[in-house]
Amino acid sequence: MKLLNRLYAQRMNIDLRHLRCFLAVAEEGGFTAAGRRLHLAQPTLTRNIRSLEDSLGVRLFERSTRRTELTDKGQTLRDTVAPLLRQLDSALQDLQKGEKLRIGFSWGLPQGLSRLATRFGEEAGVGVEFIRCDTPQAGLDTGQAHLGLLRGEPLPKGLRTVLLYEESRIAAVPASWQLAERTALDWAELADLPLIINTVSGTTFPDMWPDGRRPAVGAECRNMDEWLEQVAVGLGVGTAPVSAARRYTHPSVRLVPLTGAPTVRAYLAYPSHGAHPQAARFADLAWRAAEELQE
């Protein structure tokens, strides 16, 4: 420990990245194997080792075309650094125990998001839990969630977002209406019908139709369950992303394919400032795995 304290006091440009690279090369016996272990390109790894040697003013490895061996100074550093880094890793893992990344949603999580959360927990050491929040920002606006699944536009200000996918829409029609017998409806037809609006987490509003040809509001509600019940009792029709057909059914509601309708975009969002340290990492992982989220 005294050695490391002295090194950090005198060589402030040495950081954990350099030491982890050094230890990987020392333990793997070469740059190629160490690069695979750290998921680093060999030129990057070589630069880190060279920077460490330059900062210390000593040679840590003897290199040849056939092998890479530790010098006496390199062996001393390896013997000192290895147990300290393991102790540090253990301490950091202990700090992460019990930490949760909360993802808020108002309805209908993508099918693959739970699998992604499991994988993230295994890789990052941080558990993920999903919480239903019937708020405009799926819990981001109340502090209940670290990330929120948001649908539709415009998006609230003060958030960073990643686009996950786009969905077509279905129409929800009272089963007692003659329209329920149709095999498809057109978006323009809905302008002549009363519209059920979910004011909190909905994706359909009268101003989405042209001015002068907009549907009247049949009823308002605050969540998906209320929306479905108001359609069921015949207060009007509604529209929702097509994934709702897989998640929600009601004996008094028919879900009918809808043509000519704007798509619904699904985003994963987190605060631009003061976000959970793992929020951006999970959002990036979700963006990269977007194709598998709906499988």
CATH number of the domain at 2-96, out of 1.10.10.10, 2.60.40.740, 3.30.70.20, 1.20.1640.10? 1.10.10.10
pLDDT in tens, the chain (295 residues): 555 565 555 555 788 899 999 999 999 988 889 989 988 898 899 999 999 998 888 999 988 777 888 999 999 999 998 888 888 877 776 666 667 999 999 998 888 899 999 999 888 888 899 999 999 999 999 999 999 999 998 899 999 999 999 999 999 999 999 999 999 999 999 999 999 999 999 999 999 999 999 999 999 999 999 999 999 999 999 999 998 888 888 999 999 999 999 999 999 999 999 999 999 999 999 998 888 776 5
What distance lies between CA 138 and its chain's CA centroid?
Answer: 14
Written as one string, the DSSP assignment of 86-127 is HHHHHHHHHHHTT-EEEEEESS---TTHHHHHHHHHHHHS-E
Q: What is the pTM of this model?
A: 0.69
Residue 5's pLDDT is what? Answer: 60
In the chain, ranges of CATH 3.40.190.10 domains:
100-165+266-293, 169-262
CB 31 within 8 A of CB 45: yes
3-state SS class at 140: coil
**Class at the top of the CATH hierarchy for domain 100-165+266-293:** alpha beta
Strand order through the sheet with 100-105? 127-132, 100-105, 147-151, 264-271, 159-167
**Token pair recorded at residue 266:** 């699904």
Eight-class DSSP state of 254: E
Task: Map tokens 């029709």 to a residue.
Answer: 237
Report the sign of the C-alpha dihedral through residues 143, 149, 154, 160, in that order: positive
In the chain, ranges of CATH 1.10.10.10 domains:
2-96
The maximal CA–CA distance of the chain, rounded, in angstroms, is 87
| 1-8: long-range contacts, CB 8 A cutoff, minimum separation 24 | 1/84, 3/80, 4/80, 4/81, 4/84, 7/56
Q: Report the DSSP beta bridge partners of residue 62.
A: 69
**Token pair recorded at residue 45:** 């790894």
